[in-house]
Amino acid sequence: MHDDLDHTLEAGGAGTAVLLDEPDSQALAPVSSGHSGTFQVRNPGTGEVVGTYPVATAVEVQAAVGRAREAAEWWSTLGFAERGRRLDAFRGILARRIHELAALMREEMGKPHSDAALEVAVVLDHIAWAAKHAEKTLSPRRTRSGLATIHLKGRVGYQPLGVIGVIGPWNFPVMTPLGSVIFALAAGNTVVFKPSEFSPGVGLWLERAMAEVVPEQPVFQVVTGTGATGAALSRAGVDKVSFTGSTATAKKVMAACAESLTPLVAECGGKDAVIIDRDADLDAAVDGVTWSAFANAGQACIGTERVYVHQDRYEDFLARLVDRVGPLQAGPGDEKQIGAITMPSQVGVIEAHVRDALDRGGRVLVGG
């Protein structure tokens, strides 16, 4: 969700940097496998190839949208109760195979198995809510008339849009896209999903799981590929696009959608600060900052990037933070608390942040 990842933690006006050791990255970005129309995905912690996937062409994306359009006619007529039953069954598959899915997430984007399993567990609640509450939320309801139409009665109703295009991120490859996919399906839409090129296998796993509970029609399809595939999906005649990713890419998706006035929902990155005032509970503050800054290797749109501490509490806070962060370890092993950096290009960004902090008088207190 966020492609400006900063592992530098600046506290107070002193510009002190608190850093974790990061092992040398052996990971490579998805690259052509040498065969036209495919790309490889590598484990970011080991550099090993974990899969080869097709790059869907514009024609193939258009065909998927066409199939989704036909499936939407059937899916929308099932009604809320039956759609909810299917989504509950999908939820059951995720719950029973949570460790299988978590292992795949770890292979593709590098997060620890425990973090990956937690991500899947979180989305189970989202699915349950959508399955249970879609009918109440979207059923027709009466609405008040204004003075000019006081002699009329009004009702507001909701109809499925049709086909929703979802373009997902790599940092939370299950929770984030399913936040769009599940609610779209619950409302009676079908979905064509383009996962990140760093986590296509996760997307295909979800597609197969959905097909088990909805074998009749392709209500949830996945098209794998690069940014060109995402652009093709935005131009393929979908009725709405849900995008999660960087602001720079969101602008490109928005431009593609604008060509046909396709509605777009975009969730982009953030620049997130923590402010610790004089009366703060420092133990709680240290726990919160540590979790927010280092969870998912800092690869989150709401992850802490900088900390401002009241001058009277600065030294105390800094000492506690160093004690808390010092034992943490980064790497691909099960004993490590922090996983690998998913995008190889971000390693250079992180190193540049560290150099900049040091050039400006910062100090490395952990790692280095």
Residues with catalytic roles: 267, 301
Tokens at 96, concatenated: 């029973």
Phi, psi of 88 (to 5 degrees): -65, -40
Tokens at 206, concatenated: 């979800």
Say how far residue 205 (Cα) sits from the centre of its chain.
16
Phi, psi of 355 (to 5 degrees): -60, -40
362 within 8 A of 17, measured Cβ to Cβ: yes
Residues 353 and 340: their CA atoms lie apart, in Å, by 18
Helix (H) or strand (E) holding 205: helix 200-213
3-state secondary structure of 40: strand
Residues 315 and 277: their CA atoms lie apart, in Å, by 13
3-state secondary structure of 325: helix
Q: Which residues pair with 242 in a beta bridge?
A: 166, 265
Classify residue 139 by burial, with Cβ atoms within 10 Å: 0-12, 13-18, 19+: exposed
3-state secondary structure of 190: strand
3-state secondary structure of 19: coil
Which residue stretches of 78-142 are H helix? Answer: 80-96, 98-109, 113-138
Closest CA to 18 of 31, 28, 8: 8
